[in-house]
Structure 1
């Protein structure tokens, strides 16, 4: 009599068993990496803004020089030579005046407690419009630093 040959069958589950791989440690590592990169990353775009500075915003007689415009900037308003103006009106007006007088400078003066971000947004819009001749000047109220602030 012949002995029947035994052949492995897939349905019988014989042979080497496969171990179950748990995904929990992998998910933990991914979340730890995610948290690490979120905490160590900066979501702000850092870039330099080139700004011409002046020693004084006035001439010897106390009046502004004729080749410059004074743009007073606060968080809520923009004033061109003392008159309130919207940003939509300001950019085309400045472009026309810069084309008419290439030596014209715009003196940008943040007033009061203006946040830096408001000024930077305005300067970015100037740059996008091709207006590159501007100076950042100090508010007259900045002559002495606030109490507790070191500086000259």
Structure 2
């Protein structure tokens, strides 16, 4: 075989690469959601920040056990009790979580506080280690 006889390199076909890129683009466009999620503004407690009025204390043990200022409150009547607090001098609520609290329980409590018109919400992790 002579040395001059070289193999010709084939040109790389980009058609299949473009097809794959188009399919990936189509997949990610269809799999994505362009809706805005509801945002709940939350403020964290700051050491030495002070407050005008002492916040109410809401302890979330789990989905069925809640304490408001140390008194047990059924989940069904939480909204009414929070609205009554909002008419007084209390404008903020410190939410503590227990060992059995899940993230959904905490989110439900935060939503109830926001619907009652109380703000800001001070989230605090209790001795239980926080929601799961």
TM range, smaller chain: 0.5 to 0.7
Which residue in 2 is equivalent to 1:28? Answer: none
Which residue in 1 is equivalent to 2:63? Answer: 75
Shift of residue 116 of structure 1?
0.9
Is 2:43 aligned against 1:52? yes
The 3-state SS of whatever aligns with 2:87 is helix
Aligned residues: 100
Alignment partners' CA distance in 1, 2:127 and 2:94: 13
Which of 110, 120, 124 in structure 2 is aligned with 1:137? 124
Shift of residue 104 of structure 1?
3.6
The runs of 4+ residues in structure 1 deviating greater than 4 Å are none
CA radius of gyration, larger in: 1
Is 2:95 aligned against 1:100? no
The 3-state SS of whatever aligns with 1:84 is strand
CA offsets, 1:77-135, max 9 Å, x none? 1111222111332222222222221x542111111142111111222222233233321
Which residue in 2 is equivalent to 1:8? Answer: none
Alignment partners' CA distance in 2, 1:76 and 1:116: 14
Query: Do the aligned partners of 2:94 and 2:124 also contact (CA within 8 Å) in 1?
Result: yes
Alignment partners' CA distance in 2, 1:76 and 1:54: 26
Relative CO higher for 1 or 2, CA cutoff 8 Å, sep ≥ 6?
Answer: 2
Unaligned runs of 5+ in 2: 1-26
Alignment partners' CA distance in 1, 2:36 and 2:125: 25
Please report the TM-score for the alignment, with normalisation by the length of structure 1: 0.51
Which residue in 1 is equivalent to 2:74? Answer: 86
